[in-house]
Structure 1
Amino acid sequence: MESKVLFKETQRFRQWWIWLILIAAFGVTIFAIIKEYKVMQNNFNPVFLAPLLIPILGFVLLFYSRLDTEIDAEGIQVRFIPFHFKFKTYNWNVIGQATVTTYNPVLDYGGYGLRFSLFGKGKAYNVAGNKGIQLVFKDGRKLLIGTQKPDEAAQALSNFIPKK
């Protein structure tokens, strides 16, 4: 039996500066290949095109990456494609606390993506912004799930987690 989803969000990497970095990397790579082609002339080896795969793979990876979050009576489901293709469910019976919080993505987790904190803050799934659903499990582990809809997430959480 499926339970009614009270909160649903899909986020993607759409920050202009991330794409600018990838375009710059692609441009530098193209420039280096052209320069190498001019030097090598008749001895140019197609293997020199291999470095193009790195920025192209970066484009594809970021374009198709997405963070899906759902909150329902069962718990919190999260899927960070391409790292998870199925939802990972965190049932309410293993969650000690769930709150919406403000955090610093760079200082707390080292940036965006699938991150691990070196400072005891646990794991994070985030793609943009500085708001997230902070889970503290009964066994002490922590997980932060980024959100662009903090008020809606807090409202959904209030149905399942008592305010302290």
Structure 2
Amino acid sequence: MEFKEVQKFNQWWLWLLLAIIGLLPIAGIYIQLIKGEEFGSKPMSDTGLIIFSIFIFLLIGLFLVLRLKTNIDRAGIKMQYVPFVKKNVSWNDVESVEVLDYGFVGGWGIRLWTVYGTVYNVKGSKGVAIKLTNGKKFLIGTQKATELEEVLRKIRQN
């Protein structure tokens, strides 16, 4: 009895947006640094353009490596939002767990201070809400709600 899921940002519209954003520094570098013309009516300095370009490419790189990994078994709940957060929770520390449709919590990624505590999601609106015995709460998004419910039901039976 084990639930495993790895999610990543693979929405087509997001990658289209990131591709368009990624074209800006490429155009700027080509026009301003290679051709020697000004890029736009109020161009950045060459140094500013290079720093801006590095920032944009790091942002795109971040989306390439972001992963939400969930592993639930008889030992407990393991969640990792690569490269930011890693949680390992034993069932002894869990007061309640519920698969639910949490709706919209202000976007995707890591959302703080919601009614569910911290929400870790990549897309969609289904997840497992976890309340710990110390009162803390968090929610992990899932694209496999039915499979997750079945695994949790089997774990509770044993």
**TM-score, with length taken from structure 1:** 0.79
Structure 1 residue 120, shift from structure 2 partner? 3.3
Kindly tell me the number of residue pairs found equivalent between the two proteins: 149
Aligned pairs for 1:19-38 (under 5 A) are 19-33=15-29, 34=31, 37-38=36-37
Offset from partner CA, 1:29-49 (integer Å, 9 cap, x none): 344453684139xxx965232
- Residue equivalent to 2:65: 64
- Residue equivalent to 2:9: 13
User: Which SS does the other structure have where 2:37 is aligned?
Assistant: helix
- Separation in 2, partners of 1:88, 1:51: 33
Offset from partner CA, 1:75-122 (integer Å, 9 cap, x none): 1110111114xx5211111111111111223xx2x21112213x4331
User: Which SS does the other structure have where 2:38 is aligned?
Assistant: helix
Whether the 8 Å CA contact 1:98–1:161 is kept in 2: the answer is no
Matched, 1:154 2:149: yes
Unaligned runs of 5+ in 1: none
Matched, 1:89 2:84: no
- RMSD (Å) for aligned C-alpha atoms: 2.3
- Separation in 2, partners of 1:73, 1:120: 27
Whether the 8 Å CA contact 2:116–2:129 is kept in 1: the answer is no
- Percent identity (aligned): 34
Unaligned runs of 5+ in 2: none
Structure 1 residue 161, shift from structure 2 partner? 3.9
Structure 1 residue 24, shift from structure 2 partner? 2.3
- Residue equivalent to 2:120: 125
Moved over 4 A (4+): none
**TM-score, with length taken from structure 2:** 0.82
- Separation in 1, partners of 2:4, 2:140: 13
